[in-house]
């Protein structure tokens, strides 16, 4: 099955994990980029990113819309922002609203302290009953470790089983 890793990353942690996952699964790597970049440091980063997440924004994305029909298996990656997924994922999901149930969808989430209910919120936005696989990592680029590598390997194994 053709697989894509579609993700947003502001400070590189989700990007770090996305690249490892795509490499293991020979999947296409598709970063989402908002037209108007979020501030990536200091107070402004938390203020504007947090506000955007809390408001449930759908920021415009650069480039062509994700070619949804080209992939049978989609792995979504996002940081946790204010207890939920980052707004660029909402834009992506709404571009193919109502169709996600037809795909195998897996998700990984990077946070500073834990995922909270962010995976459930992502699932609700997608309108699917369950993920084919899910993974939660704590700042994998900034706090690398053997444990993360094991979790990534297990996640990829679950996806291989679900998407073959």
Ligand X SMILES: Cc1cc2nc3c(=O)[nH]c(=O)nc-3n(C[C@H](O)[C@H](O)[C@H](O)COP(=O)(O)O)c2cc1C
Residues that bind ligand X (CB under 6 A): 9-15, 45-46, 49-50, 79-83, 110-114, 139
- Which residues, 6+ apart, have CB-to-CB distance to 72 below 8 Å? 1, 2, 3, 103, 104, 163
CB of 68 to ligand X, least distance (A): 23
CB of 109 to ligand X, least distance (A): 8
CB of 124 to ligand X, least distance (A): 17
Which is nearer to ligand X, 114 or 144 (by Cβ)? 114
Which is nearer to ligand X, 53 or 156 (by Cβ)? 53
Which is nearer to ligand X, 11 or 58 (by Cβ)? 11
- Picking from 36, 118, 30, the residue whose alpha carbon sits closest to that of residue 75 is 30
Q: How far apart are CA 156 and CA 133, in angstroms?
A: 8
Query: What are the residue ranges of helices labelled H in the chain?
Result: 13-25, 42-54, 87-95, 118-126, 146-162
- Picking from 73, 105, 79, the residue whose alpha carbon sits closest to that of residue 18 is 79
CB of 72 to ligand X, least distance (A): 26
Which is nearer to ligand X, 40 or 69 (by Cβ)? 40
């Amino acid at each position: 099955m053709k697989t894509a890793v579609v993700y947003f990353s502001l400070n590189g942690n989700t990007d770090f994990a996305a690249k490892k996952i795509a490499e293991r699964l020979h999947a296409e790597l598709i970063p989402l980029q908002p037209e108007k970049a979020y501030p990536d440091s200091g107070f402004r980063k938390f203020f504007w990113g947090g506000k955007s997440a809390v408001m449930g924004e759908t920021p415009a994305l650069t480039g062509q819309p994700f070619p949804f029909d080209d992939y049978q298996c989609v792995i979504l990656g996002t940081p946790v922002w204010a207890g939920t997924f980052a707004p660029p994922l909402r834009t992506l999901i709404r571009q193919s609203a109502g169709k996600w149930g037809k795909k195998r969808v897996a998700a990984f989430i990077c946070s500073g302290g834990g995922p909270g209910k962010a995976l459930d919120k992502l699932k609700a936005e997608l309108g699917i009953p369950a993920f084919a696989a899910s993974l939660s990592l704590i700042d994998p680029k900034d706090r690398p470790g053997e444990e993360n590598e094991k979790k990534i390997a297990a996640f990829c194994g679950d996806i291989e089983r679900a998407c073959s």
